[in-house]
Amino acid sequence: MKRILLLGDSIRMNYAPYVYRKLSNRAEIVTPEENCRFAKYTLHELPGWLKHFGTPDIVHWNNGLWDAHHFNGTEALTPLDDYLTDLTRIANLLKATGATVIFATCTPARPENTEWDNQEIQAYNTAAIRLMEQLGIRVNHLYPVVAGHEADLITDDLIHLSREGIQKVGQQVVDVLTSLL
């Protein structure tokens, strides 16, 4: 049975139980109990997670919403160039495991959210997609699964997935992972 490591922020925490329910009879699904937060946090914690979970066959990973987050009107937590540097370092560590690595794009926020801007999220996604293509890493495009349907797929907290959002995004993740099993 292949081991799948799910890494990512609270959006991953939203869909991880769905993925587990759908794939646990076909793969061993492992994931940190904690929020992987922003890219630099993931980079810092990654060696410990890899040691704890063992060598994965597949890694499905996202970072970016925290990086593009504007706390109380400040600039984004992580400037785009720093974000790409951190993603490169994470990608290299993950590729060194021999696992098939999949990077997932960030989902949008509801338009009325004042701490995230969807144009900026798309800019971070676009830059990350280009980087992953250069690194030979497959991309799971989660943004378009939610875009245009934010009112139905994102909760009243304006960022996390609703039940329907969990089902739609979770199924997108399941479909991509199933193609590798």
Tokens of 175: 């479909």
Of 139, 166, 179, which Cα lies nearest the Cα of 16? 166
Count of H helices and E strands in the chain? 7, 5
pLDDT one-digit tens code per residue, 48-99: 999 999 999 999 999 999 999 999 888 999 999 999 999 999 999 999 999 9
Of 40, 47, 30, 38, which Cα lies nearest the Cα of 11? 38
**Domains in the chain: boundaries:** 2-178
- What does each of the 181 residues of the chain score in pLDDT, given as a tens digit? 999 999 999 999 999 999 999 999 999 999 999 999 999 999 999 999 999 999 999 999 999 999 999 998 889 999 999 999 999 999 999 999 999 999 999 999 999 999 999 999 999 999 999 999 999 999 999 999 999 999 999 999 999 999 999 999 999 999 999 999 9
Q: Is 8 left (phi over 0), alpha (psi -120 to 50) or beta?
A: left
Identify the residue whose tokens are 């999949």: 102
CB distance 170 to 13 below 8 Å = no
* CATH H-level, domain 2-178: superfamily: SGNH hydrolase (3.40.50.1110)
